[in-house]
């Protein structure tokens, strides 16, 4: 049981582990492979330049999987915390699925982009897209300028979205709660160091220690659906 104080300001960082109990595969859990391809063969600008169809087939499959999944008790526990804390709650997720929103979270920022958005490589404006693109002739083109349309996902080597806002939120938080992430992908894996330097309380929740476990004040071992519902705001 973890208790937050009534005037705490909570920054939550989630990773693939929070969606694992909804049936969505984590990245490193499957050995980092999809259909025999390493992640860096499908989630990089180089992969996109070399084989856009392969990249679109990967994200089309992930769209199908995410659409078929439902939020779990971990997602719902974060909704309850947001209801209790209001604007003192901020959720930054590395996940590109929409399970936090479908659970009912509102203050969510997808630092690695969103599975159900695409953008034209030239116009760059993201738009809602739940299409599945499996054949060369299916590959989407921009309705305005005719250029290629890519997933609105932050690939390896690209800069996560709205880092300025993320660091501003981290700067005023009093508690950092990190759940279901291996601590292997930066800059997200570095948030705990930033929080630690500020002297704020840092908590990790997941079934195994992340790579950066030694920087956390508290490491709670268990799955997202076991641990997150036990977090409460005192007096709420």
Cis omega before residue 9 (within 30°)?
no
Least distance to ligand OAD from the beta carbon of 183, Å? 7
Least distance to ligand OAD from the beta carbon of 6, Å? 27
Beta bridge partners of 206: 221
Question: Looking at beta carbons only, is 71 or 180 nearer to ligand OAD?
Answer: 180
Q: Active-site residue numbers?
A: 112
Least distance to ligand OAD from the beta carbon of 160, Å? 8
Binding region for ligand OAD (CB under 6 A): 15-18, 20-21, 26-29, 39, 43, 94, 112, 154, 156, 180-182, 184-185, 206-208, 210, 223-224
| Token representation of residue 219 | 């490491």
Least distance to ligand OAD from the beta carbon of 137, Å? 27
Query: Distance between CA 128 and CA 108 in Å, rounded?
Result: 17
Question: Looking at beta carbons only, is 26 or 174 nearer to ligand OAD?
Answer: 26
Question: Looking at beta carbons only, is 9 or 37 nearer to ligand OAD?
Answer: 37
The answer to whether 104 and 79 are in contact (CB under 8 A) is yes
Question: Looking at beta carbons only, is 94 or 117 nearer to ligand OAD?
Answer: 94
Left if phi > 0, otherwise alpha if psi is -120 to 50, otherwise beta: which for 124?
A: left
217, burial (CB in 10 Å: exposed 0-12, middle 13-18, buried 19+): middle
Residue 119 belongs to what H/E stretch? strand 113-120
């Amino acid at each position: 049981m973890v208790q937050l104080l009534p005037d705490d300001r909570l920054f939550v960082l989630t990773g693939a582990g929070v969606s694992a109990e909804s049936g969505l595969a984590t990245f490193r859990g499957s050995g980092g492979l999809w259909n025999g391809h390493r992640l860096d063969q499908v989630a990089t600008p180089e992969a996109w330049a070399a084989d856009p169809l392969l990249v679109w087939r990967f994200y089309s499959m992930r769209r199908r999987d995410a659409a078929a999944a439902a939020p779990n008790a971990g997602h719902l526990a974060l909704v309850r915390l947001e209801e209790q804390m209001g604007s003192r709650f901020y959720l930054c997720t590395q996940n590109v699925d929409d399970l936090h929103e479908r659970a009912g979270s509102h203050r969510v920022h997808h630092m690695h982009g969103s599975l159900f958005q695409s953008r034209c490589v030239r116009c760059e404006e993201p738009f809602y897209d739940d299409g599945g693109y499996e054949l060369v002739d299916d590959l989407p083109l921009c309705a305005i300028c005719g250029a290629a349309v890519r997933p609105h996902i932050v690939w390896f080597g690209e800069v996560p979205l709205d880092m300025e806002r993320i660091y501003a939120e981290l700067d005023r938080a009093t508690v950092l709660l990190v759940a279901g992430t291996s601590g292997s992908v930066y800059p997200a894996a570095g948030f705990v160091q930033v929080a630690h330097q500020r002297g704020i309380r840092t908590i990790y929740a997941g079934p195994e220690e992340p790579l950066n476990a030694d920087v956390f004040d508290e490491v709670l071992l268990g799955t997202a659906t076991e641990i997150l519902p036990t977090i409460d705001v005192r007096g709420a």
